[in-house]
Structure 1
Amino acid sequence: MEEPGQIKRALIDASAGAISGAISRTVTSPLDVIKIRFQVQLEPTTQWALLRRDVYSPAKYTGMLQATKDIFREEGLPGFWRGNVPALLMVMPYTAIQFTVLHKLKTLASGSSKSEDHINISPYLSYASGALAGCAATVGSYPFDLLRTILASQGEPKVYPNMRSALVDILETRGIRGLYAGLTPTLVEIVPYAGLQFGTYDTFKRWTMAWNRYRSHYDTQAEDAISSFQLFLCGLAAGTCAKAVCHPLDVVKKRFQVEGLQRDPRYGLEWSNMLTEICMMPFDEFYMQKAGPVFTRALFRPL
């Protein structure tokens, strides 16, 4: 049974995570909007890709700087914060569920409710705990994620002026199931993503703590405790690794979320076929153009 102090600590961690998540979501919203615009457009972003894929209509967005200029010119500053309200509403249940489930699973795995003992569990259990916590948080907050993507992906003229109009249209045209469009590829994505994120984060923390102990052995002035900056670097590295591996699945998820809505491009019915097509894209077009905003945003949103 958990001690009251440990329960309080878990609640404080979840609250701190929700607040910091809301702040980081707001600060990085422009990068998020640019990322989503790249992910949902079908047209190639380079002239060479146009020729190779026998496509004659150039993409609306071809680079981060060009996309930033176009969004600002057509939509003004508010355009960079489209979908931020449902994103903020998503952060609270997502973070609360994720941290609560993660703490429970690590407590079961380590046999202790103390957070300092959780660092000693194996990387495999850490990966599994992160994956299961990510799945639970995704299911609990998915409708907000869907609404965020829909609002952020639309340009001018607007299809939906606000979150309420998008919600009403989805319920009227597709019912409750419409709020969970793309959930399957999302869960397929979140298992490796959350697992890698938390698994590699714990691994980097162990390596950093071992390095600090090594330094303190030879330098009496060096501290063996892990610093806030080192935690930041661990989170940055873990988030970047997870994004690099799982980005194709994130593109599939975003395209399924806008499928079937007004003024949407047609991507096809099978998410496995969509994933195959995305993975067949040239490296420079996919990772340098579509994934560019993702890795830039990772600099501002480590764990």
Structure 2
Amino acid sequence: MEGEIQALGELAKYDKGRPKPGGLEDLAFGSLAGMMGKFVEYPFDTVKVRLQTSESQVFSGTIDCLRQTFRNEGFGGFYRGLTSPLVGAMAENAIAFYAYNRIQSVIRTVTGAQDLNLGHLFLSGGISGAICAFVISPVELVKCKLQVENVRGYGHQQTANVVKTRFTGPLSVVTHLLRTEGVAGLYRGIGPTVARETLGVGFWFGAYEVVCRQILASRRRSKDDPLPPKDVLGPGSIILAGGCAGIAYNITSYPIDVVKSFIQTSDVRSAGSAQPAAAAESSPTIASTIRAVYSRGGIPAFYRGLGITLLRAFPANAAMFMTYEYLSRLSADLRSKNQ
């Protein structure tokens, strides 16, 4: 146990094999990593949001949601509303990696510790997540409305083409919100978004660092040897660590994400509901939303759609960390050659 605690204190040492990316590199590499991950995950995300926010009689499960979406909207239905979240993913990951590395520098300055422990890394991830929340909240609001709006006709012997949609794309959503609710309308659901990102991103970075450390620790000849640099990790190890990071993010923050999606799509869902009660609350609170979700099926209702979320979390996040790590290594190699 003592050796394990000591190893946690060495958690950041394996990053010393190459120079840390600069601020501009973090922004650029994080942006490209976000773009790669979003292309991989978006079809799964569409299914997730529709399962989270639709009545149980609309979709019997993940396979039924996949089948109905393809039947009514074709393959393009899985990418409806992609533009906004693609830009958001690029911005989110750019800020996440930039803030994560800068916050670690602040912690080193404040504490005087050069080798950060696990708690410091989780804290760095959590703070970076809270910052990201204010960037991605309007993006996710637009995304969720576009993903859910077409579902109003499902389960009523109609196709999506029969149902008249209010929004034609991200710009029409933004224009409508600004006209009807002002700038505040773009931040509906900001509370749950901040909570989700603070918790989720803390575990995202934390899980990635822990898995990397465990792999590197297994390669030491003796437990007293220092951890090897992260540079020695190959694609398989980074894919494993990145995939585990994505799973950790979603398992820890998923119920909060359900509440967030429910709040952000309340007006879209009520517009197509035949039940007056569904439209009774146009601006639901977090407490009323929790009660409403619970009334749909108890605790399991907060995890509806988790299966497909975990299915896409592994490859999407593996792609993100692979992109970031190898771009960072390429940059470090180029700088070394130019010196």
Task: Name the TM-score, length of structure 2 as normaliser.
Answer: 0.72
Moved over 6 A (4+): none
Q: Offset at 1:13?
A: 3.7
Q: Relative to structure 1, is the Cα distance of residues 256 and 65 closer, same or farther in structure 2, using a 3 angstrom cutoff? A: same
Deviation for aligned residue 1:12: 2.6
Which runs of 5 or more structure 2 residues have no equivalent in the other structure? 1-17, 151-159, 225-229, 273-277, 322-339
Q: 1:79 to 1:14 in 2, by over 3 A?
A: same
In structure 2, the partner of 1:177 is 184
Mapped pair 1:191 → 2:198: yes
Q: How far off its partner does 1:234 sit? A: 1.2
With over 3 angstroms needed to count, the CA separation of the structure-2 counterparts of 1:267 and 1:65, relative to structure 1, is farther
SS of the residue 1:260 aligns to:
helix
Farther-moved stretch of structure 1 (122-131 vs 269-278): 269-278
SS of the counterpart of 1:61?
A: coil
Q: Contact conserved, 1:267 with 1:274, CA < 8 A, in 2?
A: no
Deviates further, 237-246 or 125-134: 237-246
Of structures 1 and 2, the one scoring higher in RCO (CA 8 A, sep 6+) is 2
Q: For 1:72 and 1:152, how far apart are their aligned partners in 2?
A: 13
Is 1:203 paired with 2:210?
Answer: yes
Indicate the RMSD between aligned Cα atoms, in angstroms. Answer: 2.8
Indicate whether 1:240 and 2:247 are aligned: yes
Aligned residue in 1 for 2:42: 29
Pair 1:180–1:215, CA change in 2 (3 A): same
Find the counterpart in structure 2 of residue 107 from structure 1.
Answer: 105
The alpha-carbon deviation at position 273 of structure 1 amounts to 4.0
Instruction: Specify the code of the residue in structure 2 equivalent to 1:64.
Output: T
The structure 2 residue matched to 1:263, chosen from 266, 271, 275, is: 271
CA contact (8 A) 1:64 1:293 kept: yes
Partners of 1:183 and 1:98 lie apart in 2 by 17
What is the aligned partner in structure 2 of residue 16 from structure 1? 29
Q: CA deviation at 1:83?
A: 1.3
In the TM superposition, residue 277 of structure 1 has moved relative to its aligned partner by 5.4
1:143–1:270 distance in 2 versus 1, CA, 3 Å: closer
Q: Is the 8 A contact 2:51 2:62 kept in 1?
A: no
2:314 matched to which residue of 1? 299
Do structure 1's residue 227 and structure 2's residue 221 form an aligned pair? Answer: no
1:224-281 per-position Cα deviation (integer Å, ceiling 9, x unaligned): 9222211211121122122112111000011111123472655963313433554674
TM-score of the superposed pair, with normalisation by structure 1: 0.80
Aligned residue in 2 for 1:73 = 71
What is the deviation of 1:300?
1.6
Moved more, 258-267 or 185-194: 258-267
The CA deviation at 1:27 is 2.7
**Please, which runs of 5 or more residues in structure 1 have no aligned partner?**
45-58, 218-222
When the two structures are aligned, how many residues end up with a matched partner? 273
Q: 1:208 to 1:162 in 2, by over 3 A?
A: same
Aligned residue in 2 for 1:136: 131
Is the contact made by 2:125 and 2:206 (CA closer than 8 Å) also made in structure 1? Answer: yes
